Amino acid sequence: MMIIPISIAENLLILQNGGTIPASRIKHRIVNEMLDNGILKKQIHGRSKATIFEPKAQNIDVFLKNHYGISDLRSYIEALKADELTRAEAILAASYSKLKKVRTFKGFLVNCYSPIPSKLNGESLLLIPTAGAFHFIYDYEAFEIPKSITVVGVENPETFRHIKEHKHLFENIKALFVSRYPQNQSKDLLKWLKSIPNKYLHYGDFDLSGISIYLNEYKKHLTDRAAFFIPKNLAYYISEYGNRTLYNKQALRFDIQSITEAPLLRLIELIQKHQKGLEQELRIE
């Protein structure tokens, strides 16, 4: 079980009350989690300074209550500070005496642009695309799809929502699309991918960060079954529509020497040649 340090909890309380905190003063796993999920935002000042703030009131309060069982941050801090409180009083003050991770849901979202047969708990389930709705697979341990289906991991939520508009990119495969988000609660998607024999194709941003996500979160676990999706004419799109600012913000977070995929090495060479990155939102024709 993990306890939020008092210093971090106090800084979260400041943010909850509308204040800002230098990013260097509030480093913790839970803070990173909140940043990843948009609960907190980071604002860059100049080249080396950044501050953290809460973009929407009650974000922190709702997040801590739903995910960690902390119903009152101020009372939680007091419970940690006050030695005279009994264990029972501390439990009542903060809902839990220790910060316990609460999983609201397990599972992951899937989407498709044509019907895909599957099985869930031994029963047939036809996945039918419906505009504005996705399938949520809760009992993923008992979720089966045909071996001929390629699982395509979509990095961007907006792309996942409008996947039918990207259909022309995947005409040569029968694809089931899975969403990388939300991933703050579990690694259920990866567990499922590791349990099935299907090929995995990663559809991410065409930049150093997207490549890093692919290598560190998927490739190292799925090895030869995983590949990075690289569409035709990508060189043109990076050259004409690539974002240099995006490239300048990112660092190389992987060892090029360990990469054996020739198409991925060519993509890295292309990105470095133009010093530009291309976000997935651009619907490549």
Higher-confidence residue of 76 and 20: namely 20
Q: Does the pLDDT at position 157 exceed 70?
A: yes
Residues whose CB is less than 8 angstroms from the CB of residue 82 and which lie 6 or more positions away in sequence, other chains included: 90
Residue 147's closest CA among 123, 108, 119? Answer: 119
Mean pLDDT of 65-86: 72
pLDDT at 98: 47
β-strands 143-144, 116-120: how paired?
Answer: antiparallel
| Statement: residue 91 has pLDDT above 50 | no
The pair of three-digit structure tokens given for residue 3, joined into one six-digit string: 């306890």
The answer to pTM > 0.75 is: no
Taking residues 80-84, what's their average pLDDT?
A: 60
Lowest mean pLDDT among 68-82, 89-103, 226-240: 89-103
- Rounded mean pLDDT, 61-78: 82
**Is 103 buried (19+), middle (13-18) or exposed (0-12) by CB count in 10 A?**
exposed
Q: What is the mean pLDDT of residues 167-190?
A: 84
What percent of the chain is predicted at pLDDT more than 90? 42
Q: Is 220 helix (H, G, I), strand (E, B) or coil?
A: helix
pLDDT at 97: 44
Supply the pLDDT for residue 220: 92
**Which of 30-39, 213-222, 272-281 bottoms out in mean pLDDT, i.e. has the lowest?**
272-281
**pLDDT tier at 85, thresholds 50, 70, 90:** very low
Locate 152 and state its tokens: 């395509």
pLDDT at residue 68, rounded to an integer: 77
Q: Which helix (H) or strand (E) holds 50?
A: strand 49-53
For residue 212, give the nearest of 255, 241, 160, 271 by alpha carbon.
255
pLDDT tens for residues 101-130? Answer: 555 578 999 999 999 999 999 999 999 998
Phi, psi of 154 (to 5 degrees): -105, 125
Q: Average per-residue pLDDT in the chain? A: 84
Residue 284: the pLDDT is 53
Highest mean pLDDT among 9-18, 72-81, 169-178: 169-178
Q: pLDDT class for 180, splitting at 50, 70, 90?
A: confident
At residue 136 the predicted structure's pLDDT band, cuts being 50, 70 and 90, is very high
The tokens 């419906």 sit on which residue?
A: 130
Residue 231 or 201, more confident: 201
Q: Is the pLDDT of residue 283 over 70?
A: no
Q: What are phi and psi of 123, to 5 degrees?
A: -105, 145
